[in-house]
Amino acid sequence: MTFKRMIHAVETHSGEPMRVITGGVPNIPGVSVHEQMKWLEANDDQLRRLMLREPRGYPPLCCNLIVPPKHPDAAAGYIIMEQVEYPVMSGGNTIAVATVLLETGMIPMQEPVTEFKLEAPAGLIGIRAECRDGKVRQVTFENVPAFAAHLDAVIDVPELGRVTVDVGWGGMFYVIADVRQFKGLRLTPSHGREITRVSSLILRAAQEQLPVEHPEYPGIGITISQLSGPTDNPATDRKNAVTVASGPVDFADPATWTGSIDRCPCGTGTCARMATLHAKGELRLGERFRHEGILGTVYTGELIKETKVGPYKAVVPTISGEAWISGYSTYVLDPDDPFTEGFTVGDLWA
């Protein structure tokens, strides 16, 4: 049978489901992975939609495309695709990609530690993978510099009133609010629906009221929201719930006040949180920061040095975590399938 597309992928999760495409995508033009990402967005966004929307995808799913590296120091490149954007960096997806490359043999595994560099759209990412018995037990990566763009800003949010937030860059711009501002709301799976409602409203208000710009990535604004709070786990420092949008938020349409909670502790979100805490004097260089996700899994971060990004005082973070392979898949597009970019339905999607 002849298919329009045949795509091979490895399914992984770190709580959050993260698909890694290993074959079936033709050569993508560009002299860097960032250029390849921009080309894909402009010329073949069908791939992202096909992989992430139904029937092959679902709202919390992320996807990564392995590409040959353009930088001479990188062992592989990867393009990150999410429901509403192409992030230049993602922590959980980086851990998943490194795990797939090593456990499938695409990059030779050296025990007890394998070190290499990956080329993300944001640039070179250093990887240190702890390996034992043919398995990746932990991945630590050195992220791009993170910084605080707004601290203790007060925004007016319909339905919620005045909310105090921080805005931090950790590879994406996050608006971060302390969950204790919302009476009765807890960072637990059973409160998921209310977490996404509150988070989506905060996201839209921050997008309108808090201008941001990354000196190296003009045009990227706040695209993701994080509720932060205390944890009951004595082995961790804080807990978070990041809500990933599945469509644009419209204050006039309550059906859009939703999204999908990141099921992992969120790597770039942890970096953004560490950057804002450091800017407030609440987290020192070299101090371990254990960040718990909504499922109880933990990423451990550390700020290793200070730097600058344009006018911003910034910090270089590392994140350690684990991902697990959950399956191997081949996806096809039937020539007669009328849904060539997948579909969404309002019972699950914004």
Question: How far apart are alpha carbons 187 and 171 in whole angstroms?
Answer: 23
Q: What share of the chain is helix, strand, coil (3-state, %, to 5)?
A: 20, 40, 40
Closest CA to 163 of 173, 174, 175: 175
Give the rounded distance of the alpha carbon of 94 from its chain centre.
9
Question: How far apart are alpha carbons 227 and 272 in whole angstroms?
Answer: 12
Contacts of 261 (CB under 8 A, 6+ apart): 60, 192, 195, 196, 241, 242, 243, 244, 294
Residue 313, SS3? Answer: strand
Active site annotation includes 260: no
Helix (H) or strand (E) holding 190: none
Specify the pairing of strand 76-81 against strand 113-120. parallel
Q: Which of the residues 14, 90, 199, 200 is marked catalytic?
A: 90
CB atoms within 10 A of CB 293: 27
Is there a contact between 122 and 88 (Cβ–Cβ < 8 Å)? Answer: yes
Question: How far apart are alpha carbons 319 and 321 in whole angstroms?
Answer: 7
CA diameter of the chain: 62
Question: How far apart are alpha carbons 101 and 343 in whole angstroms?
Answer: 30
Quickly list H helices, the chain: 33-43, 46-52, 91-103, 192-209, 267-279
Can the peptide bond before residue 230 be classed as cis, meaning omega within 30 degrees of 0?
no
Q: State residue 204 phi and psi, 5-degree precision.
A: -65, -40
Residue numbers annotated as active site = 90
